[in-house]
Amino acid sequence: MCEKWEAAFESVEAPATRKVLLRLGVVLGPNGGFLGLLGRLTRWCLGGQVSNGRQFLSWIHIADLSRMVLASIENQELTGVFNATSPSPVTNAEFMCELRRALHRPWSPPVPEFAARIGSWLMGTEADLALVSQRCVPKRFQENGFNFEFPTLRQALTNIFPSQ
C-alpha cells in the first residue's frame, strides 16, 4: 500500500517543487487516537500483549512529529522519503508493559489473536495494527541532525500520562 501511494506521489510533475514524503509511525498524544482506545482497555485490565507480543511497533510522540513536519518545511535540503518515527521501535509486549506502567496497572491477561481480531472488528479498527510487525527507524532525519524530545517510549508515555 505504501509503495502505491509513494509511486503516485512521485509521478506528479512539479519540477520547481521540493518533495518530502513522511512515512508516519503510530502517533502518540494525549487527545485520544491510538492511546485513547488502548488507554481505556488498559484501565479496564485488558491491556495485555497481543498474540505472542513479538511484533514490532514504530511509534512517535506527537510533539516530535510536529517538529519533523516543521523541519521538513524549513530545511530546504530535505527531499524524498523519510520515516517519521521514534528512534526506538518496541515490541507489542514492551509497548503494553510500558503503557500499564504509565497507567499503574501491574498486569493484564494476554490477548489471543482471534480475540484481537474480533475486538478490532467490534471497535471498527484494524487488527493488523496490533498483529503485524512494523519496525522502522528515522535514519534520514537522524543523519540530518534531528534531535528527539521523546526518544524512548517511557519518556513519551510519562509526558502523555504525567499523573496517572
Q: What is the mean pLDDT of the chain?
A: 94
Reported as half-sphere exposure (CB side, CA atoms, 13 A), residue 72 has a value of: 20
Contact 131, 51 (CB under 8 A): yes
Domain contains 136? yes
Going by C-alpha positions, the residue among 32, 64, 89 that lies closest to residue 141 is 64
Task: Give the position of cell 474480533.
Answer: 118
Domain contains 43? yes
The residue among 159 and 12 whose pLDDT is bigger is 159
- Classified as helix, coil or strand, 151 is coil
Question: What are the phi and psi torsion angles at 51 (to 5°)?
Answer: 55, -130
Per residue in 112-151, pLDDT (tens digit) is 999 999 999 998 889 998 899 999 999 999 999 999 999 9
List Cβ neighbours of 46 (8 Å cut-off, separation of 6 or more).
108, 109, 111
- Asked if residue 164 has pLDDT above 70, the reply is no
Per residue in 26-40, pLDDT (tens digit) is 999 999 889 998 999
State which residues form the domain around 127.
2-157
Domain contains 163? no
Got the DSSP string for 7-49?
HHHHHS--TTS--EEEEE-EEE-SSSHHHHHHHHHHHTT--PP
Domain contains 164? no
Going by C-alpha positions, the residue among 27, 57, 164, 158 that lies closest to residue 105 is 164
CATH code assigned at 26: 3.40.50.720
- Classified as helix, coil or strand, 99 is helix
- Asked if residue 105 has pLDDT above 80, the reply is yes
Number of folded domains in the chain?
1
Domain contains 162? no
Domain contains 11? yes
Where would I find the beta strands (DSSP E) of 19-164?
20-24, 26-28, 56-57, 59-61, 80-84, 90-91
The residue among 127 and 164 whose pLDDT is bigger is 127
